[in-house]
Amino acid sequence: MNLLSFRRRVGRPLLLGLAGLLFSFAVLHKTPAEQVRDYYDGHLRQLHAALTTLQQLAPRADTTALRRQFVACRTEYKYLEFAVEYYYPHAAQRLNGANLPETEAGEPGEVIPATGFQVLEEYVYDAPTDHATRDLIRQETDNLLYQVRHLEQQAPMLTFSEAEVLDALRLNLYRLAAKGLSGFDSPVAHAALPEAAVTLHATEQVLALLGGPAAVLAPLARGRAVLLAPAATFENFDRARFFVRYFNPALAGLQQAQQQLGIAYVAARRAVRPQAPSFFAADAFDPAFFAPADAAAPTPAVLALGAALFQEPLLSGKAAGRSCASCHVPGRAYTDGLRVNRSLLAGTELARNTPTLLNAALQPEQFADGRVHFLEDQVHAVVTNKAEMGGQLSEIPALLRKKTTYQKLFAQAFATDKQPVSEPNIRRAVAAYVRSLVGLNSRFDQYLRGDTARLSGQEVLGFNLFMGKAQCGTCHYMPLFNGSVPPLYDKAESEVLGVPATAAATALDADPGKFGLYGIAHQRQAFKTPTIRNAARTAPYMHNGVYQTLEQVLDFYNRGGGRGLGLDVPSQTLAADPLQLNAAEQQAIIAFIGALDDAAPAAP
């Protein structure tokens, strides 16, 4: 054997061995973000495989096998949810949106049919014995596979950063608390608890890949054990205790890990501040997120001007004598206590009940039909509405300039403006004042922050019913308890409840609601979900003020809304099945709602 042959025969194994060693070294020394990427790719492949198996089972498998495989698919999605929701929100909506038709803000006339796991869940859990239902299962599984293939195509371009991963995990924990544990994600199977356990497990695994210390991972493991306890059911689970003892420590651990690892917070303008320790924290929500770019800064001078204008009858012109405070009375939680207020047009009433302005800033749409986005536009619409205030904004500055007090207030608030007394500044000042009426310090909030003596046993029971058996939390999202959709709170949901015209419930209320904006069929009688914070002080209730007491409201929901009352409500989004709440349970929910009153009326 010559030397060249020896080198060829011996060198090749040496080179291959060296290459393998280098490959192993590279795998072992992947960055945390690269390991998260591998985790994502692996679960995406497993989701694809699980859905493919479900597709194969659809034609002939028995109900038990179909449901078992559906659970396997949902489980794989829950391991991916933090990333899919964060990087591909449109795909997330198609994979796991509510089983209701949607419209896009930019194309309100185009109706998007529901698709995804929640649609599939109804088919799978509806005893699918007939061929038609099995075909629907197969078709919906096809839709899911289409979205998964799209994610797989996008995967090579996806780059994780540690800051984004931690941000995504935090947002996903908010999603778990506000939507997952309320049953929003699993309305038929009621798999909220095991799915929440998967979410915590995914958070634990990903955080470990990033180098999170064991002490930080422990609350996630403990929370998972509580969710999977043999005696825990959707209806009896103590969510209040879970949030205080397990969920909040998990969020605190996430923040601790981020600080210990030296990972910066993402620079994002968001409803919940990225650096907030929890969305239960007193200053977690940023009202500026819901404001336009040219909103006035909430300086003391601007708020003082806004408060004065809020009480000023000149906004309704020389003769009407109506101010914002005429209908939004501070002592009545910024409502008026009336079914509907009187109209300035002779012999008529206003169409809708006066809503509270407390926390009105923390929503992306204003008015019951959501027709404007910003408080500044709401001020303009109300002031110029002939039935509500009847003012002419073009004339109001001249009227205000006649008062020395206002010239001084405007000059202090808008010192850099050549003409501070102007239409835009009137709108901006009043909007800034309303935006300051944010109060998230009720006894409930204090309880969730650790002062567990602040709620009675009845109130805790009421909260657990609200978030569980009564299904209230699937529309009134915690912790704002309005229809702003967590965890981004960048859109507001409207619901068709079937509200009757009178308490006798003999006919549906005639108000078309959101249908009046674009004429979309499924939005007929749809109204924005209002907050129930401070609701104990804001009677009467519903968009038309039809109910005088919370007892009447609970009875309406308990009976299944308009359809449960026997009314014809084709597009009702509220489940028509009775909730089976007994009298004590209804009173407990009402007691909890009372615990959502702010400790003191919010004011600048």
User: What does the DSSP assignment read for 456-525?
Assistant: -HHHHHHHHHHHTTT-GGGTSBTTTTBSBPTTT--SB-EEE---BSSTT-SSB----BTHHHH--GGGTT
- Which residue matches tokens 């064991």? 214
> Cβ(596)–Cβ(533) under 8 Å?
yes
- Whole-number Å distance between alpha carbons of 331 and 548: 18
Crossing angle (nearest 10°) for helices 162-175 and 63-87: 130
Note the Cα 166 to chain centre separation in Å.
20
Query: Could you tell me the residue ranges of all domains in the chain?
Result: 32-160, 162-267, 288-435, 446-594
Torsion of CA 482, 174, 260, 249, to 10 degrees: 90
pLDDT of residue 10: 44
pLDDT at 347: 87
Q: Which CATH class is domain 288-435?
A: mainly alpha
The region, left, alpha or beta by phi > 0 then psi within -120 to 50, assigned to residue 489 is: left
Angle at which helices 423-435 and 375-384 cross, to 10°? 120
**Rounded Cα distance, 576 and 488, in Å:** 29
Q: List the single range of 118-132, 267-281, 420-434 with lowest mean pLDDT.
A: 118-132
Average pLDDT, integer, range 444-473: 97
Q: What are phi and psi of 110, to 5 degrees?
A: -100, 115
Q: Taking the model in full, what pTM does it have?
A: 0.92
E strands, 319-410, are none
Alpha carbon distance 118, 446 (integer Å): 34
Buried b vs exposed e over 92-128: b needs ≥16 C-beta within 10 Å? bbbbbbbbeebbeeeeeeeeeebbbbbbbbbbbbeeb
Q: Report in angstroms the alpha-carbon separations of 157 from 88, 153, 154, 162.
A: 12, 8, 6, 16
DSSP SS3 for 542: coil
Residue among 375, 401, 411 at smallest CA distance from 302: 411
User: How many CA within 13 A on the CB side of residue 156?
Assistant: 2
pLDDT in tens, 477-487: 999 999 999 99
> Exposed/middle/buried for 156, CB within 10 Å: 0-12, 13-18, 19+?
exposed
Q: What is the model's pLDDT at position 235?
A: 95
Class of domain 32-160: mainly alpha
Q: Say how many Å lie between the first and final Cα of the chain, rounded.
A: 94
Common-topology check for domains 288-435 and 446-594: yes
Average pLDDT over residues 426-430: 98
Span 58-79, mean pLDDT?
Answer: 95
CB neighbour list of residue 221: distance below 8 Å, 6 or more residues apart: 200, 204
d(CA 576, CA 512): 20
Query: Quick one: which H or E segment has residue 104?
Result: strand 102-104
Mean pLDDT score, 149-177 = 96
d(C-alpha 357, C-alpha 346), whole Å? 26
In the prediction, which pLDDT does 105 show? 63
Q: Are strands 526-528 and 107-112 parallel, antiparallel or unpaired?
A: unpaired
Pick the closest to residue 444 from 539, 334, 549, 534 (CA basis): 534
Which residues neighbour 265 within 8 Å (Cβ) at sequence distance 6 or greater? Answer: 163, 167, 258, 274, 275
* Model pLDDT, residue 123: 93
Give the single-character DSSP code of 345.
Answer: S
Pairwise pLDDT comparison (130 vs 579), residue with the higher score: 579
Q: Which CATH class is domain 446-594?
A: mainly alpha
Cα distances (Å, whole numbers) of residue 9 to 4, 14, 22, 469: 9, 9, 21, 73
What confidence tier does 599 reach under pLDDT thresholds 50, 70, 90?
A: low
Task: Give 19's pLDDT tier (boundaries 50, 70, 90).
Answer: low
The dihedral built from the CA positions of residue 372, 100, 243 and 220, taken in this order, carries a sign that is negative
CA distance 332 to 37: 53
pLDDT value of position 319: 67
What does the pLDDT average to over 384-396?
92
H or E, element range at 194: helix 192-209
Separation CA 309–CA 423 (nearest Å): 12
Q: How confident is the model at residue 1 (pLDDT cuts 50, 70, 90)?
A: very low
Query: Considering only CA atoms, which of 269, 248, 528 is closest in space to residue 373?
Result: 528
The predicted pLDDT at position 102 comes to 81
pLDDT of residue 18: 52
Average pLDDT over residues 244-273: 94
pLDDT for the residue numbered 131: 84
